[in-house]
Amino acid sequence: MISYKREKLIETARQLFYQYGFHAVGIDLILKKSGVAKKTLYNHFYSKDDLILAVLRRNDEHFRNHFVRSLENRGFSAKEKLLSIFDTTEEWFTSSQFHGCIFINAIAEYSDRSVPIHTVCKEYKRTIRDCIAGLAREANASDPNELADQLSLLLEGATVTEQVGAIRKSAERAREIAIILINRACSLS
Amino acid sequence: MISYKREKLIETARQLFYQYGFHAVGIDLILKKSGVAKKTLYNHFYSKDDLILAVLRRNDEHFRNHFVRSLENRGFSAKEKLLSIFDTTEEWFTSSQFHGCIFINAIAEYSDRSVPIHTVCKEYKRTIRDCIAGLAREANASDPNELADQLSLLLEGATVTEQVGAIRKSAERAREIAIILINRACSLS
DNA sequence: TATAGAGTAGACCGATTTGTATAATTTTAT
DNA sequence: ATAAAATTATACAAATCGGTCTACTCTATA
């Protein structure tokens, strides 16, 4: 028995927070856009921060599923999968309504490392890195952890650069650098 | 004839915006922390957004001065200067009260590309890239613009990764990748 | 048919938001 | 020294903030 109102709230809030920011978007706007009553919101969530947490966790699930699935479909070898990360990323960039990484955006507004919103974002980033490290291990990289950290750095850099919009073709650029790093780390295999 | 009150407001606002975000920090808090009267603020600035713009422009000046000066002092050859970017960056990361790049943080809260706050941030990023491109040209890189874009991407990636805090030693990592890219681009000289 | 759970609309709360207005006081320049 | 400018403290406005609460409606199931 899932609640459609709850889903509707999360999805509406996600879109608004992603585009306009977390502090900039008020509860009332979310209610108006979703067509849900205020009481219902506070029936499902303790507070606005709790709703934000739900949005981030939902985004985590969706994004990670999308991430992993696209890796499965795209590459055959682990090395190809590592590279295809940047193809998936490029598709993300060119999709409509791209406003960077919502977790990065959230951390920009919640810098206090002790608040749950911050830690959830940090954990997500760690999970993605570990996912990449698994692929690097599969690809027999000499130092899979280091390669994962490197590719993560490229990913973040491309995402933020694309968000700013002052420099173009970030995903392609990150991909090219990734080729160099992957070949370097997997030269033995 | 510079206004001390104006300077005080900008610096106080800079600290608060940088740590807590732009929407999260209200005018009243800035006034309280700076010890300046509200009328004085609106005598110097049209609005809160105008104050934010002043903060960003001030940050632009300071950061760019610091950036260029540290490059002058550190490296001797253009190639060394390019690399020393990441030493300067590492110092920045380890300084107290690091909360990422204020321009990136601002863009996260003001995604609308038509608002001045967004464009000022974008222009800043472009200026830094062009500064790096100048060094790359000095270093006789085969494609100085491409090298500048690559190093900018590394810089952004390291900054955001450090801000999140899930992966350590981002500046050193970016530096190591930079060595590879610089040597590749300047192999002829 | 009766009941319980979930949702709705909207009033209401106190606090806070950006920004204006007023009047007294201090600083500055000539 | 005097006039002008700048700054002060504070009250005020209108809107919005997150959140609580009441009263009413709808629907599913026992």
Residue from B132, B167, B181 whose CB has the most chain A CBs within 10 Å, to mutate: B167
Is the CB atom of residue B44 positioned under 7 angstroms from any atom of strand D? yes
How many residue pairs from chains A and B have C-beta atoms closer than 8 A? 148
Which CATH number fits the domain that encloses residue A179? 1.10.357.10
* pLDDT score at A71: 81
* pLDDT score at A188: 61
CB-based contacts of A178, cutoff 8 Å, min separation 6: A82, A83, A85, A86, A151, A154
Which chain D positions have some atom within 7 A of a protein CB? 6-11, 16-23
Give residue B47's pLDDT band: very low, low, confident or very high (50, 70, 90). Answer: very high
Instruction: Report the distance from CA of residue B45 to the C1' of nucleotide C15 in Å, as an integer.
Output: 26
- How far apart CA A109 and CA A100 sit, in angstroms, is 14
Residue B103 belongs to some domain of the structure:
yes
Is the CB atom of residue A32 positioned under 7 angstroms from any atom of strand D? no
CB A186 within 8 A of CB A141: yes
Query: If you search the block for the tokens 């943080």, which residue do you land on?
Result: B105
Residue A70 belongs to some domain of the structure:
yes
Query: If you search the block for the tokens 């590492």, which residue do you land on?
Result: B90
Nearest in space to B166 (alpha carbons), one of A113, A4, A28: A113
Query: If you search the block for the tokens 């502090």, which residue do you land on?
Result: A23
- Closest residue, chain B, to A181 (C-alpha): B177
**Residue A90 burial (CB count, 10 A):** 18
C-alpha distances in Å from residue B141, one per residue of B70, B79, B173: 21, 9, 21
Residue ranges of chain A with pLDDT lower than 70?
A: 1-2, 75, 188-189
Give residue B188's pLDDT band: very low, low, confident or very high (50, 70, 90). Answer: low
* pLDDT score at A152: 98
pLDDT tens profile B78-90 = 999 999 999 999 9
Give the rounded distance of the alpha carbon of A174 from its chain centre: 17
* pLDDT score at B187: 81
Q: % helix / strand / coil in chain B, to the nearest 5? A: 75, 0, 25
User: Cβ of A21 and B19 within 8 Å?
Assistant: no
Residue A158 belongs to some domain of the structure:
yes
pLDDT at B183 over 70: yes
Residue A8 belongs to some domain of the structure:
no
Residue A142 belongs to some domain of the structure:
yes
Buried residues in B62-80 as b, exposed as e (16+ CB within 10 A): ebeeebeebbeeebeebbe
Nearest in space to B62 (alpha carbons), one of B70, B51, B52, B50: B70
Give residue B3's pLDDT band: very low, low, confident or very high (50, 70, 90). Answer: confident
Phi, psi for A36 (deg, rounded to 5):
-115, 150
Ranges A137-146, B18-27, B66-75, B130-139: which has the least confidence: B66-75
Residue B171 belongs to some domain of the structure:
yes
Tell me how many domains chain A contains: 1
Residue B122 belongs to some domain of the structure:
yes
Which residue range forms the structural domain that includes residue B151?
48-185
Using the CA of A37, give the nucleotide whose C1' is nearest.
C8
Closest Cα of chain B to A74: distance in Å?
A: 25
Average pLDDT over residues B28-55: 97
* pLDDT score at B137: 97
pLDDT tens profile B153-166 = 999 999 999 999 99
* pLDDT score at B24: 98
CB A81 within 8 A of CB A74: yes
Closest Cα of chain A to B81: distance in Å?
A: 21
Nearest in space to B103 (alpha carbons), one of A18, A93, A163: A163
- How far apart CA B111 and CA B121 sit, in angstroms, is 11
% of chain B at pLDDT higher than 90: 89
- How far apart CA B41 and CA B138 sit, in angstroms, is 44
* pLDDT score at B75: 66
Nearest in space to B103 (alpha carbons), one of B72, B81, B83, B127: B127
Residue A63 belongs to some domain of the structure:
yes
